């Protein structure tokens, strides 16, 4: 399996031609505000390489998001284990600013939750962000995640306060049933 497919998206490993676009995304101040600052091309490429390795090894990874209609690279999304919370699997996303507000993060996140619960058999999936990142918090809520706790997270040597949201497999199954019944 090379990735996941949704109505509008292909979630797949990074390709060499994605790397300059991913670096541009990671250097954008509007995106970097939630990354503790802009990333260099080398840092960005390292993340993509790590994501592809995780996907190949354990079928987790923050892999590329491509719009199916035209093959446009939008960003990344996926499941991973954050080093500060190795007991948890997190769903996370990062899209280029010009693609915010189109439902892509929610659509990709929903596919990853389904994959995590139905294919990997996970019991719980979390998501984390800064309390002031209202756009990511809105995506979490749209996906059915609810507040779990606050935590201090260290990522790439940067420590920050984070809010953690979570959803369990039974909550996901209930929300999926309700969605299919028109609820």
Condensed to tens digits (0 to 9), the pLDDT of residues 16-57 reads: 999 999 999 999 988 887 777 788 999 999 999 999 999 999
Q: Which two tokens stand for residue 5?
A: 């497919």
Question: Which CATH architecture fits 4-180?
Answer: 3-Layer(aba) Sandwich (3.40)
Strand partners, 165: 127, 147
**Please, which residues have CB within 8 angstroms of residue 180's CB and are 6 or more apart in sequence?**
none
For the full predicted model, state whether its pTM sits above 0.75: yes
How does the average pLDDT of the chain come out, rounded?
91
Each residue's pLDDT tens digit, 57-82? 999 989 999 999 999 999 999 999 98
With tokens 């990074």, the residue in question is 14
Across the beta sheet with 9-12, the strand order is 4-5, 9-12, 61-67, 73-80, 90-95, 124-129, 158-168, 146-155
CA–CA separation, 150 and 155 (whole Å): 15
Listed by start position, the domains of the chain span 4-180
């Amino acid at each position: 399996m090379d990735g996941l497919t949704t109505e509008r998206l292909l979630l797949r490993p990074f390709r060499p031609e994605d790397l300059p676009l991913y670096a541009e995304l990671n250097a954008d101040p509007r995106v970097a505000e939630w990354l503790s600052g802009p990333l260099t091309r080398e840092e960005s490429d390292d993340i993509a390489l790590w994501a592809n390795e995780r996907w190949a090894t354990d079928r987790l990874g923050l892999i590329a998001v491509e719009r199916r209609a035209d093959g446009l690279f939008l960003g990344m999304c996926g499941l991973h284990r954050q080093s500060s919370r190795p007991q948890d699997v997190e769903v996370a996303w990062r899209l280029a600013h010009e693609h915010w507000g189109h439902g892509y993060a929610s659509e990709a996140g929903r596919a990853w939750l389904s994959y995590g619960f139905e294919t990997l058999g996970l019991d719980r999936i979390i998501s984390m962000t800064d309390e002031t990142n209202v756009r990511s918090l809105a995506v979490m809520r749209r996906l059915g995640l609810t507040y779990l706790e606050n935590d201090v997270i260290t990522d790439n040597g940067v420590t920050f306060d984070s809010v953690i949201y979570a959803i369990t497999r039974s909550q996901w199954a209930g929300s999926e049933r309700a969605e299919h019944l028109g609820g």
